[in-house]
Structure 1
Amino acid sequence: MIVNDRQRRVFATALAAMAGFVDSVGFLSAHGYFVSFMSGNTTRLGVALGTSPGDALVPVLLILGFIAGVTGGALLSERAGTFRKPAVLGLVTLLLIAASLARAAEGEAVMIAALVLAMGALNNTFQRNGEVTVGLTYMTGALVKLGMGLARRLSGHRDSGWLSWAQLWAGLLAGAVLGAYLQDRLPLGCLWIASAWGAAMVAVAFRFPAEG
């Protein structure tokens, strides 16, 4: 979908960058756990179960929180109709604001919970017929499509689309770098920046009707 639509591609990249920003802040705040990358938390869960079962609770809660965010975002998306994107991003923004307030009040657990819910919900932004078409908080699928696109390009196909997936991955990486930089230098302000970022994305989202 984003391969042949430049505006949607830029929009998706901006959202992936926001996800990278938030995940970087969350990673540094949650002692090496992720708020959007559940494959990483699943690996940490497996390691904990295999070596120190008492450490398994945190990744379990993070994974369940992410699923809850996806579920809540999907339910909202279904009810929002053609305003699916701004509705979902509005929810994400409210959760980011809640995380910002929790950090200001030194409520780390509440902050992490709000971030996990927000990142789960974010993945409902791009849907078609009830299926996610662009994952915004995880890049394994994008990298697989990038590699397959490169193979097609090397095989002589001109429109392989690999650059679109490379752009999405680069967006998440750039956001993660910025998030880490600001978490180190502006810890009380970085989530407010993410909240403002989310609010801006809500405004932009009104330009893009639901896909189906």
Structure 2
Amino acid sequence: MRDVTRRGLALSLILSGVAGYVDAIGFIDTGGFFVSFMSGNSTQVGVDVLERGLVSSLLPLTLVVAFVAGVAAGAIIGGNGIRRAWAVAASASAVALSAGLAVVAPTGPARFWMLAFAMGALNTLYLADGRARVAITYATGTLVSLGLAIAALVTGRSGSAWQRPLLLWGSLASGAVVGAAAHRLGSGAALLIAAIVLAVAAVGVATRFPGRRERSSG
């Protein structure tokens, strides 16, 4: 992540904030499941299978499937340069669709699948060597980077490496606070705001983000 330019970092912070925002809305509406934090859903699947039966585990399980599908789709349609904008645009479209479903089919799981798909696609913005190098929508990888950077600070190897992962985590957490507040407007309206922000970000990637020059390291 230290190789990402300031413009790339700003974009990452915006998208991470949106991810926290959307995840908070999904968490509230599903009653405790996540649309971007798949580790939590995976644990919930295991617990529900044992405690409540297979049927109760279907929603968190299908959220994991939708997230993976979003990653795959983002990797296929995305890439370097302007093609990165397509992955962000796909995320915006999926969130917008979920906003519509929140109005016409608020109890259906499809709108949560759309959100998980969108969050998965966002993680393909920075790809290198066949893997996502910046954790846009989940905190675990970012916190690992933060811990390693703190170790580097303590041992004198780097005095500033901790700043970027801390900013990324802070953006995700702050986005969750804003998302929880926006949920009071109603899920449809709150998600529409997220879709608009993602659409603007996609335009920014297409017109100004120098994708070929961006590199990142976890």
What is the TM-score with the length of structure 1 in the denominator?
A: 0.92
Q: Which residue of 2 aligns with 1:150?
A: 150
C-alpha contact 2:13 2:167 (8 A) present in aligned 1:
yes
**Native 8 Å contact 1:150 1:160 kept in 2:** no
Residue 33 of structure 1: how far off its partner (Å): 0.7
Residue pair 2:27, 2:34 contacting (<8 A) in 1 also? yes
- DSSP-derived class of the 1:135 partner: coil
Partners of 1:141 and 1:30 lie apart in 2 by 24
1:96-175 to 2 correspondences below 5 Å: 96-107=95-106, 108-175=108-175
1:111 aligned partner, one-letter code: R
- Please state how far the C-alpha of 1:3 moved relative to its aligned partner: 5.3
Question: What residue identity is the alignment partner of 1:92?
Answer: S
How far apart in 1 are the matches of 2:132 and 2:158?
26
Output the amino acid matched with 1:30: T
Residue in structure 1 matched with residue 72 of structure 2 by the alignment: 71
3-state SS of paired residue (1:56): helix
Q: How far apart are residue 51 of structure 1 and its match?
A: 1.7
Contact 2:87 2:124 in 1 (8 A): yes
CA contact 1:84–1:125 (8 Å) conserved in 2:
no
Deviation string, structure 1 residues 147-170 (Cα, Å, up to 9, x no partner): 111111111234451110000000
Q: What displacement does 1:113 show?
A: 1.5
Distance change >3 Å, CA 197–CA 2, structure 1 → 2: farther
Query: 1:203 is matched with which residue?
Result: 203
Distance 1:169 1:45 in 2: 25
Match of residue 94 from structure 1: 93
The answer to whether the aligner puts 1:62 opposite 2:63 as a matched pair is: yes
Q: Which residue of 2 aligns with 1:192?
A: 192
Task: Report the Cα distance in structure 1 between the residues aligned to 2:19 and 2:123, rounded to whole angstroms.
Answer: 10
- Partner Cα separation in structure 2 for residue 110 and residue 158 of structure 1: 45
Q: Secondary structure at the match of 2:32?
A: coil
Distance 2:4 2:82 in 1: 22
Deviation string 1:98-153 (CA, Å, 9 cap, x unpaired) is 11111121344221121111111111111124321101111111111111111111
5+ unaligned residues in a row in structure 2: which ranges?
A: none
Aligned length: 210
Contact 1:70 1:122 in 2 (8 A): yes
Distance in 2, matches of 1:88 and 1:155, equals: 39
- Percent identity over the alignment is 32
